[in-house]
Amino acid sequence: MKKKIPIFFVVITLIFIGHSVEGGNEEKTKTEILQLIEQMNLPQGSENAEFRIGYSYGLQPLPYLIDLLKSENFQVKSRAYSAMSRIIRNNFRKNEPVPWKEIDLTLFEEKYQKILEEAMNIATKDAITHPETNVRIESIRFIAMMGTPQGISVLEKCLEDKVLLVRKWAVYYLSHFGKNYSYFKVLAGEEPKTPEEYGKYLYNPYLWVESIRKLREFGKEALPVLISCSNSEEKEVRLRAMMLLAEMKAEEAMPIFTRYLKEETEDETMFAIQTYCISGLYNIGTEEAIKQLKEYGLKHKNPDIRYYTAKTLIKTNKEEVMPVLKDLVEQGNSSMKYDIALFLIENKEKEGIEILIGLLKDKKYLREAESWLEGTTGQKFGGIPPVVSKKTLEEYTKKWESWWEKNKDTFQFPKQDKQ
């Protein structure tokens, strides 16, 4: 007969083991943090280390980061601010609606409270007086994360910084506390009033987003300036103007949409402009607009433009679109075939299944095709081993081909459960 182990001995043993494991985990965490801090302290730094410090260890890295914050190396100092901002945001500001509230330091453990108070004292000086632009920007970010009244006052002083980018971030973060300063007044020294005046800033790397927002508010009143900007020699200005024109469903812009859609796709900017032309014509939706879309979109030299047009028209002009997609599959590479297959399946078109069966012969897309086929059809034919011979793959593909030949006429896509 086995002797019973006294219960108090079991409890004491488990407590000891628990403390040992916990202590071991704490030591492991500390070692990881120190290794990451060491990487951040190197001249070249480590973006990965900065990211992990900011998101993986709660408040634990703060005692080490405060030392980096005092570094004479401005790059190290910037990284420390960035990591501390990530820590505060991840632990206290994630998904917080605007306006943000002040973080109550009294809720922290005393050691963390003192560290953050010291960090704020350093940051409020750096934001105003540090000679390096990036340090001022990162200190502004950290001050904003903390959100103290003193910090907000410092952010307002940063609106006078000699560097435009510093002023931009000050405006941005002040808006998180309900203090909505004008980007135009702070960054450009003037407050535009008309669409023409706002249109001048479509080229500006810091003000174009605000310019678009304001022009959008003007609606059709902004059409003349947007049509003018759509002919600009600056590609980015053309692109931004075309984006707004596409949104506005403006028939006045049809000649512009058609003209750009006739051109060759010479670069990524032109591709983006042409996609806006496609969206613009479709949004206008008149018989003439759709006619232009079919003529110059579905027949464009660039296969990606043909595909984008086909995706736009699939629900309203299926008969004209399906031959274009079939031609793209026959002429396109495996990447396009796979993309078209998923697009067709998403739109409950059986042709997508046939394309996926064909992709079973392509080693690059074999696993993805198998997964989508099984998930879409509910059929399984034993699966494919990690290492597969040509003969085995051919036999497996034939099973799918045979099943599809028998079932394609009666196959129906499974109904999706209503959420």
Indicate the pLDDT class of residue 112, thresholds 50, 70 and 90: very high
pLDDT of residue 419: 40
Average pLDDT (243-251) is 93
Average pLDDT (152-178) is 97
pLDDT of residue 5: 52
pLDDT of residue 11: 44
Place of tokens 């028998």: 406
Average pLDDT (206-235) is 95
pLDDT of residue 18: 47
Torsion of CA 352, 358, 364, 369, to 10 degrees: 40
Average pLDDT (222-244) is 95
State the DSSP H helix or E strand holding residue 168, giving kind and residue range, or none if neither: helix 164-175
Is residue 189 within 8 A of residue 219, CB to CB? The reply is no
**pLDDT tens-digit series, residues 310-327:** 999 999 999 999 999 999
Is residue 61 within 8 A of residue 51, CB to CB? The reply is no
**pLDDT tens-digit series, residues 11-56:** 444 444 444 444 557 788 889 999 998 898 887 777 888 889 989 9
User: What percentage of the chain exceeds 90 in pLDDT?
Assistant: 79
Residues 6+ apart with CB under 8 A from 44: none
pLDDT of residue 229: 96
User: Dihedral of CA 314/320/323/325: which sign?
Assistant: negative
In angstroms, how far is the first alpha carbon of the chain from the final one? 59
Q: Which domains does the chain have, with CATH numbers?
A: 30-181 (1.25.10), 333-408 (no CATH)
Nearest to 150 by CA among 109, 100, 102: 102
pTM confidence score: 0.76
Residue 228 has pLDDT above 60, yes or no: yes
Nearest to 403 by CA among 357, 341, 346: 357
**pLDDT tens-digit series, residues 363-417:** 889 999 999 999 999 999 887 888 888 888 899 999 999 999 999 999 999 876 4
Average pLDDT, the chain: 90
The encoded tokens of residue 130 equal 């540090």
- SS3 string, 249-292, reads CCHHHHHHHHHHHHCCCCCHHHHHHHHHHHHHHHHHCCHHHHHH
Q: What are the start-end ranges of the H helices in 41-191? A: 47-56, 62-69, 74-88, 110-129, 133-146, 149-157, 164-175, 183-188
Q: Which of 168-172, 224-228, 260-264, 392-396 has the weakest average pLDDT?
A: 392-396
Residue 354 has pLDDT above 90, yes or no: yes
Q: What is the greatest pairwise CA distance in the chain?
A: 98
pLDDT of residue 368: 93
User: Dihedral of CA 10/13/19/22: which sign?
Assistant: negative
The encoded tokens of residue 117 equal 């108070």
**pLDDT tens-digit series, residues 48-103:** 888 899 899 999 999 999 999 999 999 999 999 999 999 999 999 988 999 999 98
pLDDT of residue 15: 44
Q: Which of 19-23, 49-53, 203-207, 212-216 has the weakest average pLDDT?
A: 19-23
Length of the chain: 419
**CA 5 to CA 14: how far, in whole Å?**
13
Residues 6+ apart with CB under 8 A from 351: 322, 325, 326, 344
